[in-house]
Chain A
Amino acid sequence: MLSRTADHLYWMSRNIERAENIARFLDVANRLSLSGGGASDSWQPPLTIAGSAQAYAERHGEVAAVNVITWAVLDPANPSSIYSCLRTGRENAHAVRSVIPTELWEIINDIWLEVKRIDGARLREQGLTGFCEWVKDRSHTVRGATHSTMLRDEAFWFVRLGTFLERADNTARLLGVRSKGMTAESRVVPASDQLHWAAVLKSVSAYKSYRALTREDVSPAGVAEMLIMNADMPRSLHACLDSVSTILDRISPQAECTRLAGATHARLHYGRLEELLADGLDTFVSQFILGNNALGTEIHKDFLMS
């Protein structure tokens, strides 16, 4: 396959996955802000997670609900707004429309045509929750079409690679919020913190699963265990690295990026929570994000357009 094609496929799925995750974070922030406790600071995390807190501050100053929503959903100047991600995703899909299944292209094009029509007034009318659900729903549809219509050739694997690399990054960033001072021992926390960690679970649709797996109260250590170590949880770091590592093994077993991904995967697969969080959850998260970025760079060097 053309290197440029691989590059477009990879960024197509990365951007759609990112749009979905931003919708997830916004949705939870919104629910938290409505539930009273800790309401005032619930709009900071979506900015921190998206890495756009500084750019936001330069544009809007103080963190206020309506500004954060405008910035994170609609602002074309914000490269990680949902609008921008869906536009970039669609541009990449457009460049490879002859390679991807027609249905997949039509779905992605359709999402873009829809989102292009949305402005502040329409968003208010639909409601943030309704809009976020729509984004998640469309992203699910894209993944479903990918899964059920694409030939299992290299093109498919590059699409999946983008999805899982982006998802790993997003889950790690999500864990990073309020992670300072948290370790594998943090099993009991104040009620307001508990609310936060429950929101973290909900944003990755893991709250029900958490409840199904354990009778323990929601705690930072419990959430970290689930979202870092549990390979059965589809948005956990372990699950993401399972996929990334398997895909790279398929594409090119000897490549440097395959070795890097394998090493990270082994730590998650064979490590213990106490070891991983020995220097604190925040340190683990920032190291993971750095490692994930390095992996992305290596993938570019090995296969994509440099």
Chain B
Amino acid sequence: MAFDEMKASDGAVRAPYRSYENWLLSAAPDLLPRKHEQADELFRRIGITFNVYGDQDGTERLIPFDPIPRILTAKEWSRVHDGCIQRVKALNAFIHDIYHGQEILKAGIIPREQVLANDSYRPEMHGVNVARDVYVQIAGVDVVRTGADEFYVLEDNLRTPSGVSYMLEDRAMMMRLFPDLFARHRVKPVDHYPDLLLKALRSVAPPACDGEPCVVVLTPGYYNSAYFEHAFLAEQMGVELVEGRDLFVDDGLVWMRTTRGPKRVDVIYRRIDDDFLDPLAFRPDSTLGVAGLLSAYAKGGVTLANAIGTGVADDKSTYIHVPEMIEFYLGEKPILPNVPTWRLEREDDRKYVLEHLAELVVKEVHGSGGYGMLVGPTSTKEQIETFRAKILTNPGNYIAQPTLALSTCPTLVDKGIAPRHVDLRPFVLSGETTTLVPGGLTRVALKEGSLVVNSSQGGGTKDTWVLEDDQC
């Protein structure tokens, strides 16, 4: 039985939900469905949509929004907060290290070839110095919960993590739909995220910047699945939203084409993958990037956020070493533990996993977005056998984890309110300091019993509330 964040196993309502429960009891029975409908209408009108890859008609869809908030106490949050900050500090130190002295490899804590032969390791970055030694300005740390005090990190997202716009829009929507709820609860604000983001980005201006740093958001364009978020963040920060074709490199500096001639760009918050950033350095067929960008970057003419080559640190084969990194670089004990993980390239691990496929979750080492994974307990025999064959052709490509009983939260479904599994993605910002706003994106698996929360796989989102100290 999974841990429910609202109701304890004896049916008693847990402290953070008490006031909400009272409100719910006094509300008209059709209030939530009505508000839910209203929210969909508003989201569609505002154009908060995403495009589904592989969907032929290319229509824009809404990410389902659940009108029941997920509520955390200040105490619960403070652990997640401290744990995420600790983790991202260690990961930044790790990335700096592997592109410089490689102390952690010399110490034998992580096998050398596992890092250096990784597809996401960028030899071009070796010896390159980046502003303030910060590589990951924006990190999304996926946290899951299995009990009152049990939080685990499931995954780090260190490339171009998305979802923060939903965190902000979900909050705005909740305030619009249920102003009375915000009068009854003291919910810590998240709206200052764009200010913190801009501050972090400005603080990592490159050495070549000699005035006010000019920050831009680089998007692949409005056909990209996350275009809404790119536009939203540019708008909220009050900076230009650029495409690759708007930029060019001249004399080691980056410029954008404007109606009044070229203008210098200092910091690029890029939402384009490494491979597409610079056709001269990476994929030559990329039309999304900027020719010469890598060379300007390497010489300190511009800052890229996140840095090139961070992917090696959020790979699942690196993930298993993060607790050791924390001890190695920070000399601290990990505040948030990893989920126990088996690596299928190891014979013992493989043997165990193949015998227990029906109980485990198996993932591709380099995969993301909930694609290419097996959730044993909810799969048919055929699906398991098909996956077993895939594993056997390339065991090194997979890891396995126990099927965690992810915590559940009350969620509005067709038949009323029912518990559904959730996870949490807080967004950690690094610049002059490392910070995060109290909250994050709560993703919810809307299908009964499902553990897959990804929006591309039918997941929805919820507003995440962190209550002020004295609330419970």
Q: Is A251 an interface residue (CB 8 A)?
A: yes
Task: Contact check, A2 vs B258: say whether CB atoms are below 8 A apart.
Answer: yes
Q: Which residues of A contact B231 (CB under 8 A)?
A: 97-98
Task: Contact check, B259 vs A6: say whether CB atoms are below 8 A apart.
Answer: yes
CA distance A251 to B245 in the complex (A): 23
Task: Contact check, A94 vs B47: say whether CB atoms are below 8 A apart.
Answer: yes
Q: Is A105 an interface residue (CB 8 A)?
A: yes
Within 8 A of B (CB), among A249-306: 251, 303, 305
Size of the chain B interface, CB-CB below 8 angstroms: 22
Q: Mark B33-57, 1 if CB is under 8 A from A, else 0.
A: 0000000000011110000000000
Q: Is A193 an interface residue (CB 8 A)?
A: no
Q: Is A191 an interface residue (CB 8 A)?
A: no
Interface bracket on A: 20 to 34
Partner-contacting stretch, out of A22-30, A106-114, A133-141, A217-225: A106-114
CA distance A154 to B222 in the complex (A): 22
Q: Which residues of B contact A305 (CB under 8 A)?
A: 245
Task: Contact check, A109 vs B259: say whether CB atoms are below 8 A apart.
Answer: no
Task: Contact check, B256 vs A2: say whether CB atoms are below 8 A apart.
Answer: yes
Interface of chain B, helix or strand or loop or mixed?
A: mixed
Task: Contact check, B258 vs A1: say whether CB atoms are below 8 A apart.
Answer: yes
Task: Contact check, A1 vs B235: say whether CB atoms are below 8 A apart.
Answer: no
Given A2-B242, A106-B45, A113-B45; A94-B222 close (CB under 8 Å): yes
Task: Contact check, A98 vs B258: say whether CB atoms are below 8 A apart.
Answer: no
Q: Is B232 an interface residue (CB 8 A)?
A: yes
Task: Contact check, B234 vs A98: say whether CB atoms are below 8 A apart.
Answer: yes
Task: Contact check, A2 vs B257: say whether CB atoms are below 8 A apart.
Answer: yes
| Cβ contact of B246, chosen from A4, A97, A99, cutoff 8 A | A4
| Cβ contact of B47, chosen from A95, A109, A251, cutoff 8 A | A109
Q: Mark A108-130, 1 if CB is under 8 A from B, else 0.
A: 01100100000000000000000
Given A4-B243, A97-B235; A154-B259 close (CB under 8 Å): yes
Q: Which residues of B contact A251 (CB under 8 A)?
A: 259
Q: Which residues of B contact A113 (CB under 8 A)?
A: 44-45
Task: Contact check, A95 vs B259: say whether CB atoms are below 8 A apart.
Answer: no
* Most chain B beta-carbon neighbours within 10 Å: one of A4, A6, A154, A251: A4
Within 8 A of B (CB), among A143-163: 154, 158
Q: Is A70 an interface residue (CB 8 A)?
A: no
Residue of A nearest to B47 (CB): A109
CA distance A91 to B58 in the complex (A): 14
CA distance A150 to B318 in the complex (A): 49
| Cβ contact of B232, chosen from A3, A95, A98, A109, cutoff 8 A | A98
* Most chain B beta-carbon neighbours within 10 Å: one of A97, A105, A154: A97
Task: Contact check, A2 vs B246: say whether CB atoms are below 8 A apart.
Answer: yes
Given A2-B240, A106-B45, A110-B45; A95-B257 close (CB under 8 Å): no
Task: Contact check, A106 vs B222: say whether CB atoms are below 8 A apart.
Answer: no
Q: Is B153 an interface residue (CB 8 A)?
A: no
CA distance A255 to B148 in the complex (A): 68
Min distance, Cβ A253 to any Cβ of chain B, angstroms = 13
CA distance A6 to B259 in the complex (A): 7
Task: Contact check, B259 vs A303: say whether CB atoms are below 8 A apart.
Answer: yes
Given A95-B222, A97-B231; A3-B45 close (CB under 8 Å): no
CA distance A106 to B231 in the complex (A): 14
* Most chain A beta-carbon neighbours within 10 Å: one of B44, B245, B258: B258
CA distance A264 to B47 in the complex (A): 41
Q: Which residues of A contact B46 (CB under 8 A)?
A: 102, 106, 109
Min distance, Cβ B217 to any Cβ of chain A, angstroms = 8
Q: Which residues of B contact A110 (CB under 8 A)?
A: 45
CA distance A279 to B243 in the complex (A): 48
Q: Is B241 an interface residue (CB 8 A)?
A: yes
Within 8 A of B (CB), among A69-114: 91, 94-95, 97-99, 102, 105-106, 109-110, 113
CA distance A113 to B240 in the complex (A): 27
| Cβ contact of A91, chosen from B222, B235, B240, B258, cutoff 8 A | B222
Chain A residues within CB distance 8 Å of chain B: 1-6, 91, 94-95, 97-99, 102, 105-106, 109-110, 113, 154, 158, 251, 303, 305
Interface CB pairs A-B, < 8 A, 20? A1-B260, A2-B256, A2-B257, A3-B258, A4-B243, A91-B222, A94-B47, A94-B227, A95-B221, A97-B47, A97-B235, A98-B235, A99-B241, A106-B45, A109-B46, A110-B45, A113-B44, A113-B45, A154-B259, A303-B259
**Top 8 A-B pairs, shortest CB-CB distance:** A98-B235, A98-B231, A98-B234, A303-B259, A98-B241, A3-B257, A109-B47, A97-B231
